Amino acid sequence: LICHVVDTSIPTSWHSMYRPLLSKQISRPSKKQGLVISLACLCGIVGLCWFTTSGREYDAAAATIGRGATMAVASKGCMAPLRTAIRRPHLGQRHQGLSLASKTEAAALKDPEIRIDSPLKIEAVLFDLDGTLLDFEGGSHDALNKVLEPYNSTGKAALTWEMHGTIVGRRASEWSAEILEQCGISPDVLSPEKYVEMYLAKMPEYYPSMPLMPGALNLVKNLKAAGYKVAVASSSERLSIEKKLKFHPELLEMMDIVQPGDDPEIKAGKPAPDIFLAAARKLGVKPENCLVFEDSPFGLQGAKAGNMYCAALPDGRMPIADPARFGAADFVLNSMDEFKMDYIEKI
């Protein structure tokens, strides 16, 4: 065994020095020969250990991939392409320092999920604005924190992405008090109304640099060309919507209506269906013939409460991007680029 290990661990030219020793042809090796034997044995032992460890790691990796491949086939069906079992880390774990990172930089969360068996019969498509049509949340996150800094005892931003995720899709009058409470800021120091006022005053600084979400403009163009009615249905105030879309006139011009959250007929914000139902009434279509695009679980709940179909677009920067939060959606997409026109049929 020693001969074999040494033979495979040192140059062939050294064989003549150690083989006589092992076969007892030399009864007392010289210092040089002893050193050669010691080094050769050491190299052989190290090589053997490396080979054994590498083999175990390879077997473990192969087993993991094998399990992942089996699960992929079982969950997607025999006709689905086999996908690699190793994926990137979940992007919802992005740390706070990347508050201004765009949703496009967050990259794909997972493969799109199309949960329909046949094309949906649709008359109108309703779009949420912030985080759905417009890459809004990065700037919003920064502005929400900038306003809080003077009132925070540490002088640092106190709003996390996890906290931010709880307010997406809701009206400011509903979430402002919650954020201040979670951040430990007393209403006597900063009232919810004043917080919203300061936040809304700060946000216009970000509007010129806010891009449309990937695929948004192209999808709206395709829908209009196919004869569908399209609308913005947002929890934001009308003035706020107008300020944001002023920098995207081509998109605004294609909208049949804009339904804001401060409309007098809206009694409750998302997850209530009021905003979507009001938009459907103004468009003259039945709720069950509407498809809603939303980025938040609250918006999804509102669409479903209104008996509408929903395409969810989770934001990978937020913990709420977990697909489990969008279980009722008819589509779960990374972007509107993944939506195909043959998923719907016009009534």
The residues that are catalytic are 128, 130
Beta-ladder partners of 257: 231
Q: What is the H or E stretch that residue 185 is in?
A: none
Please state the φ and ψ torsions of residue 213, each to the nearest 5 degrees: -70, 150
CA angle 103, 133, 291 (to 5 degrees): 120
DSSP string, 235-288: SS-HHHHHHHHTT-HHHHHH-SEEE-TT-TT--S-TTSSHHHHHHHHHHT--GG
Q: How many CB atoms lie within 10 A of CB 142?
A: 18
Phi, psi (degrees; rounded to nearest 5) at 212 = -70, 155
Distance CA(276)–CA(150), nearest Å, equals: 37
Contacts of 192 (CB under 8 A, 6+ apart): 173, 176, 177, 180
